[in-house]
Structures are given as C-alpha cells and as structure tokens.
Chain A
C-alpha cells in the first residue's frame, strides 16, 4: 500500500505550505483507496446492528473485515479530508538547494519551517545559528529554526551549511 507510506509526508508538506504537493499525495491516496467506500458502508451497516460496542470487533471479522480493511477506510477518509480542507493559498513556500521552507514572521522573531526532501536522515539535533542570533533544530528530513535578528537569507545559508555538514 503506497498510501500508507506517503500520507504522513503530506502533513509535513502542509506544514511548510507546499499545499499543491500535499494535495497531490491526498489525491493519489484517494484514487488508490476509493474502492474502500463500499467497505465503509458495509462497516456502518454492521455497526448499526450490533447490540453492544464490545461486540463490534468480532462482528467485523466474522463479516471478513480485517484490520487492514479498516486501515484502508481510514486512509481513504483521511486523504479525502486532505483534498477538501487544504486551502490552495498562493504557494508560500520557497526552495533553495533542495530545502523547501516557509517563513512565519511573528514580529519579534521569525520562524522557519523546512523540509529537506533529498536529505537522507539528519538525525536529531539542535545547533545555534550564530550569524542571525537563532537556533536550528532538526529531525529526519524536518527542520525548524527561530531567528531573532539579521536577514532570513543569511539564516537559510547557515542552515544549509549545517545540513550539508550532516550529510
């Protein structure tokens, strides 16, 4: 099931405001799993007819509905929500040397959220960004930075330098 491997990525892409790509994953997932609509109806019918909640698990299995079927229905529903709810504002993310990022200006500080698609795994870590009085944290392909002074471009350059050193 390809959807199960990708759906979390769509949340990360939404986080950095790459809505177009996030929706694309939602769409692929929905197309892959749309047959689960019939299963959803079947599950609802069974649910309606059980006397007590604790019997539902066994009733579903007796009707041939397994854990993986339930996961398919949930993923289909989730992908539908991604498709319907992600507002396609103008793509506000930027990209530099493979790092997709978005900047949130809170006035007294700027927050950078990033996703490094081509990075293998940055591990977990925290480093100071000396050129801009800030801090960078990362985990896997995700980065997050807070910058208190100086320019964003300078911060991005220092972040990229740090990421490259990790690879």
Chain B
C-alpha cells in the first residue's frame, strides 16, 4: 500500500521550556501545519508492506485484528458516511508509524518499545527506539547515540484547528521525555485529499 511521507526537522531551541519564555507551542504547531499544507505536492511515496502491518499491530496499544484490511479501508475512505472510532484511528496511526520505521529505517519490530498503554502517566511518549540500532536512523538524525521518543497522532478528516491542538499537546508531552539531549519524533498520520500521509517531525537537541 502506497502512502506519502513528508519529513521535517525541528531544532529544539525554538521550543519554549522555561518561565522566561512564552508558551508559543500553538504558533509552532501552526507553522508545522503550514509547512505540511505548502509541501504536500512534494511528499515522497513509500510502499508499506501490508503483511508488516500485522506485526506492527502487535505493538499497538489496543487489541485489534484484521489490520491490513482496516488500514487499506482507512486509506480508501470506504464505508461512505462512517468513520473509524478514535480508538481505531489512533491505533492505525501507531501501526503505520511502526511499519514505516521498520521499512524506512530497518528497525526490527522487537527493538521498538511501545509505551502507549502507560501514557496516562503524563510523562512518556507512545514509543521509544534506541538510535544506535539503526544506521539509517543515525544518518537521518546525524548522530549515533541517544533515544528517539515517538508520539503518534491521527486524523481521518483533516481539520486544521483540531490538528493544531493535538500537535501542541503532543509536542509538550514529547519534550517532557526528550528534553534536553535526546531526540523526538512526532508522527502525524493524516488522511488528506484521498491519500494517507505520514508527516514525520523530528525534534533534534
């Protein structure tokens, strides 16, 4: 199944952390979405192996079967007026992200640590990967060590203002775990004009 990806790297210096800085996460989120909307035409195609979605689904936080069918239906927007429940859409985003990490960066599934089931702690992201295990990831991030903290977000109907809030919350949550020396990835799985996009925003220290 073909999906489209856009990659953006964000320097963590622009994210506010201390009292003498203004909380401008909303402005940063607006910027991220603007970059996405302005560059959708330049997104890169990537073929996701449908079978790998099955293995990626073992890592997702909810018990859900028949994943390849669900993901393909998600892309096609099948079911007419019906939408996936937020739970399922969230799961699909997790699964697409893990399948993409596996395929694009050759990260074995057993090296992805999924922690979404304990996200309620309010301090941890959906998943973690040790950067040292993937050469391609090291090239992408220009480092050979550290942890990559991953957050995923999904939207089946693209709604600019709803996405802004989600990005803002996700970035703040990412920073709690990542700050100062580690790396972050905000993976936004968006259904946008009939295509699935995985918009990868890397946060670098």
A contacts, CB < 8 Å to B: 4, 7-9, 11-12, 15, 40, 43, 47, 52-58, 60-61, 67, 70-71, 73-75, 77-78, 81, 121, 124, 126, 137, 139-142, 144
Distance to closest chain A CB from B144 (angstroms):
17
- How extensive is the interface on chain B, given as a class? 35 or more
Within B93-136, the residues touching A (CB, 8 Å) are 102, 108-115, 117-118, 121-124, 128, 130
Complex Cα gap A73–B118 (Å) = 10
Contact of B123 with A140 in the complex, beta carbons under 8 Å = no
List residues of chain B with CB within 8 A of the CB of A4: 113, 128, 130
Which residue from chain B places its CB closest to the CB of A53 in the assembled complex? Answer: B172
Q: Beyond A54-B23, A67-B177, A121-B108, is A74–B118 a contact (Cβ under 8 Å)?
A: yes
List B27-71 residues whose CB lies under 8 Å from chain A. 49, 51-52, 54-55, 58-59
Docked pose: A93 CA to B195 CA in angstroms: 39
Given contacts A56-B176, A70-B177, contact A8 B109 (CB under 8 A): yes
Which residues of chain A are near B123, meaning CB under 8 Å?
A: 43, 47, 56, 60, 70, 73-74
Chain B residue contacts of A54, Cβ below 8 A = 16-17, 23, 25, 172, 175
Q: Counting chain B CB atoms within 10 Å of each CB, which of A8, A81, A137 scores highest?
A: A8
A11/B58 contact (C-beta < 8 A), A57-B176, A137-B51, A139-B52 known:
yes
Task: Provide 25 A-B residue pairs closer than 8 Å at the C-beta atoms, listed in order of the A residue.
Answer: A8-B109, A8-B110, A12-B58, A52-B23, A55-B19, A56-B123, A56-B172, A57-B175, A60-B123, A70-B123, A70-B124, A70-B177, A73-B124, A74-B115, A74-B118, A77-B121, A81-B118, A121-B108, A137-B54, A139-B55, A139-B102, A140-B109, A141-B110, A142-B58, A144-B51
Interface of B is mostly: mixed
Chain B positions within 8 Å of A, measured between CB atoms, are 16-19, 23, 25, 49, 51-52, 54-55, 58-59, 102, 108-115, 117-118, 121-124, 128, 130, 147, 149, 169, 172, 175-182
A4–B113 alpha-carbon span in the complex (Å): 7
Residues of B within 8 A of A141 (CB): 110
Report the Cα distance A7→B116, complex, angstroms: 13
Q: How far is the CB of B1 from chain A (nearest CB, A)?
A: 14
Q: Please, which residues of chain A bring their CB within 8 A of the CB of B18? A: 55, 58
